[in-house]
């Protein structure tokens, strides 16, 4: 996962997370639902990042963590009264940013990977059937 429950609390606040993830109203966060939403959000992010970056990422940039939090929160609030227009906008902005990354219009600040020397090209095969000498006179 690109983010944790603590990352969600740090980003949106504990009250907002309780509104989204206290499913039975017992003042206890539903950690299973939170982990499921974070896992789903991370998989959604991977589907965009895989176009441009080898996965898993060597480090998790802060922007990816933020995108994961907003997407997970959106998934937690789907089909609940906790869904707001602001949350929908945050989700749409997150997906839009992921599209920009996938299309190469935005980039992640990742350490440069050590480039490996290219493998030599080896050409091998049977002898040619049609050569100039064999085709002479046709």
Is residue 122, in this structure, part of any structural domain at all? Answer: no
Residue for token pair 């990352």: 7
As for how many domains the chain has, the answer is 1
Mean local confidence (pLDDT), 21-30: 83
Asked whether residue 87 is domain-assigned, the answer is yes
Which pLDDT does position 116 carry in this prediction?
A: 57
Q: Is the CB of residue 41 less than 8 Å from the CB of residue 68?
A: yes
Give domain status of residue 88, yes or no: yes
Distance CA 118, CA 116 (A): 6
Is residue 58 one of the residues assigned to a domain?
A: yes
Domain range for 45 is: 5-108
- Please tell me the pTM assigned to this model: 0.78
Reported as a single tens digit per residue, the pLDDT across 33-87 is 999 999 999 999 999 999 999 888 889 999 999 999 999 999 999 988 889 999 9
Nearest CA to 29 among 88, 73, 70? Answer: 73
């Amino acid at each position: 996962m690109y983010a944790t429950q603590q990352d969600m609390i740090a980003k949106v606040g504990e009250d907002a997370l309780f509104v989204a993830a206290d499913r039975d109203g017992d003042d206890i966060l539903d950690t299973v639902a939170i982990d499921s939403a974070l896992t789903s959000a991370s998989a959604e992010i991977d589907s965009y990042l895989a176009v441009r970056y080898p996965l898993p990422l060597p480090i998790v940039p802060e922007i990816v963590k933020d995108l994961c939090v907003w997407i997970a929160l959106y998934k937690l609030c789907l089909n609940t009264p906790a869904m707001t227009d602001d949350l929908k906008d945050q989700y749409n902005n997150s997906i839009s940013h992921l599209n920009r990354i996938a299309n190469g219009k935005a980039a992640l600040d990742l350490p440069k990977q050590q480039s490996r020397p290219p493998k030599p090209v080896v050409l091998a095969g049977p002898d040619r059937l049609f050569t100039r000498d064999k085709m002479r006179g046709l």
